[in-house]
Amino acid sequence: MRIAVTAATGNTGVALVQALSQAGHQVAAITRDPLGKAAQELAALPGVEALTLEDAFNKPVDSDIFYARSHLAVEHFLEQGDIPFTSLRPNLFHNNVVGLDLASVAKTHQFRTMAHGASVASIDPADVGRAAAALLSLDDPSPHYGQKYTLTGPENINDQSVGEVLQEVLQTDVKFAGGVRDDEFPALFLAALAKLKQGKGDLAHTATSPEILALAPPRSTFKDYVTHYFAKRV
């Protein structure tokens, strides 16, 4: 099968391309930076056999999160046409739990959390990529056309458990410094962060759709992700 993957070097794209390649598919890896190292490591073959759309945060179209609204606009566009699609709606990614720079924790011995004061079942982007690959690899994916599936991580985490994981993996004391600062994020994220800071985070008690649990259940915990992340940097 020939499959085109957009945002192939993004959070979920790399894992999706890798999983599809391992399954024997031909992949056209589409990225905004085709000359970048990550892009050059991916196979790039022409042709589109199917389309899987990834959404953000399982939030409604009037979400305070601009990123979610932009994805949902595409989703609604697809609903008006004849293109078969399946929408994956992942929870907060593991790599964004402590903001946009996990590496800095090892240097400063401090961490901030995006969902300060809230509990969230964050997910590994690679688990989302593997779920998309499982859907695309089905002999008959038509039962999933037009469906919208929620994906969450295997466990809830909070400020305390995040700190415990970071201390265990880094083998050093780390200090909790509160929620992420406004100047650490682009303006389009700030409205969403404001809601979290007001205690309106609501991402803890969502459940992964049963269809995804049957195909490719998310398994990577926040600890698994952090361990793998720092192991690659040694």
pLDDT at 186: 57
pLDDT at 46: 37
pLDDT at 143: 96
pLDDT at 232: 84
Highest mean pLDDT among 24-33, 167-176, 179-188: 167-176
Does the pLDDT at position 200 exceed 80?
Answer: no
Query: 3-class SS at 151?
Result: strand
Mean pLDDT is lowest, of 32-41, 179-188, 190-199, 203-212, for: 190-199
What beta strand segments (E) does the chain contain?
2-5, 26-29, 52-54, 86-90, 110-113, 148-151, 175-179
Q: What percentage of the chain has pLDDT greater than the value 90? A: 41
Q: What is the mean pLDDT of the segment spanning 182-202?
A: 55
Does the pLDDT at position 82 exceed 90?
Answer: no
Q: What is the mean pLDDT of the segment spanning 144-169?
A: 95
User: Which pLDDT band holds residue 156 (cuts at 50, 70, 90)?
Assistant: very high
Residue ranges of domains in the chain: 1-59, 61-232
Token pair recorded at residue 167: 């201390």
pLDDT at 78: 72
Q: What percentage of the chain has pLDDT greater than the value 70? A: 72
CATH architecture of the domain 61-232 equals 3-Layer(aba) Sandwich (3.40)
CA-to-CA distance for 230 and 143, rounded, in angstroms? 39
Closest CA to 52 of 159, 172, 148: 148
Give me the sign of the Cα torsion angle 68, 65, 15, 118: negative
Alpha carbon distance, N-terminus to C-terminus of the chain: 37
CA-to-CA distance for 29 and 39, rounded, in angstroms? 7
Q: What is the mean pLDDT of the segment spanning 111-129?
A: 89
CA-to-CA distance for 69 and 80, rounded, in angstroms? 17
Neighbours of 159 (CB within 10 A): 19
pLDDT digits (tens, 9 = 90+) for 21-62: 888 888 877 777 766 777 666 644 433 333 344 455 455 555
CA-to-CA dists, residue 153 to 2, 85, 204, 209, 216, angstroms:
29, 23, 10, 12, 12
What's the pTM value of the predicted model, to 2 decimals?
0.79
Q: Which residues pair with 176 in a beta bridge?
A: 111
Q: What is the mean pLDDT of the segment spanning 61-85?
A: 67
